[in-house]
Amino acid sequence: MSARAAGPALGRGLSALIPSRDDAPSSTREILLSEIRVNPHQPRRDVEKANLEALATSITDHGVLQPILVTETLDGYRLVAGERRVQAARLAGLERIPAVIRQLADREQLELALVENVQREDLNPIEEANAFRQLHEEFGLTQDEIARQVGRARTTITNTLRLLELEEGVQAAVGDGRLSEGHARALVGLPAVQQLQLVSAIVDDGLSVRQAEELARRLREPRPASPPSKPRSDPDLERVEDDLRNALGTKVSVARGRKGGRIVIEYYTDEDLGRLYDRLTGGPA
């Protein structure tokens, strides 16, 4: 099946590719669990033990209600979709499991595994982000194409991918559920040390997403520079300025330095300049 043909089927969901057992076509058959190999493109890294045990109990009572999807290899089968069912079937003591056998390229295997987990909400945000990145970097899919394949908005794909910019310790906190995706997005762009500090504050103090965003905003905003300290007033200089101002009839400022200083006399018109010139040179006022 070509990648182009896979798109519409993925958009309709897994039921378009993996029929239930009641309406399974002749291509569905029982295969040995021992012949199934792990999918190297499986985006999920962890399966909760409690959920696996519950599924194993259900399989013991009712059997596997939906076949898994595999692709045939030289030494057996490679699992494409249905990892939890395979693990639960083994846990329940089954030797065989119903499967749909399809010939799929590597990209299609990753897409199908990702779609299955996304639709069943089996992936944590970091696992999703890594799968999206793999689709982009290894198989050349754009964010728009990824969004269509998994039935998400493009902005969702962009925001999820940004989680991979976080420090590894923060990603781990998201992966194990200590930190929500909303909390994590608030930390993107902060230095690693500040990210870890905020994680501790969020977890220890039970901060809401809004509170985390506000803390992150404060850290991003540069602190205003302290205003330059005003030099201490010098009564002698102030008296000199007043005397000169009264004598010249204009604004005068005196600044003292380590060696000498300067006097600044302001004027506002050409006539003002002429008047000051005559006063300072001894000419007529």
* CATH number of domain containing 136: 3.90.1530.10
Number of domain units in the chain: 3
Residue 215, pLDDT above cutoff 80: yes
Give the whole-angstrom CA distance, residue 7 versus residue 101: 18
Q: Are residues 144 and 178 in the same domain?
A: no
CA torsion sign, 28 to 34 to 40 to 46?
positive
Does residue 230 lie within any of the structural domains?
A: no
Residue 282, pLDDT above cutoff 80: no
Where is the domain boundary, 132, 161, 190? 161
User: What residues are annotated to the active site?
Assistant: 83
Q: Are residues 39 and 139 in the same domain?
A: yes
Q: Are residues 181 and 246 in the same domain?
A: no
Q: Are residues 67 and 184 in the same domain?
A: no
- pLDDT per residue over 103-151, tens digit each? 777 777 777 777 666 656 567 888 888 888 888 887 788 888 888 877 7
The answer to whether the beta carbons of residues 72 and 103 sit under 8 Å apart is: yes
Domain, as residue range, for 253: 235-281
- pLDDT per residue over 36-60, tens digit each? 887 776 666 566 677 778 888 888 8
85: closest CA among 100, 74, 75? 100
Predicted model pTM: 0.51
Q: Are residues 182 and 151 in the same domain?
A: no
Q: Which tokens go with 89? A: 């079937």
Q: Are residues 137 and 172 in the same domain?
A: no
152: closest CA among 192, 177, 125, 173? 125
The answer to whether the beta carbons of residues 119 and 90 sit under 8 Å apart is: no
pLDDT of residue 27: 66
Q: Are residues 205 and 252 in the same domain?
A: no
The answer to whether the beta carbons of residues 107 and 139 sit under 8 Å apart is: yes
Q: Are residues 100 and 18 in the same domain?
A: yes
- Compute the half-sphere exposure of residue 163: CA atoms within 13 Å on the CB side of its CA: 30
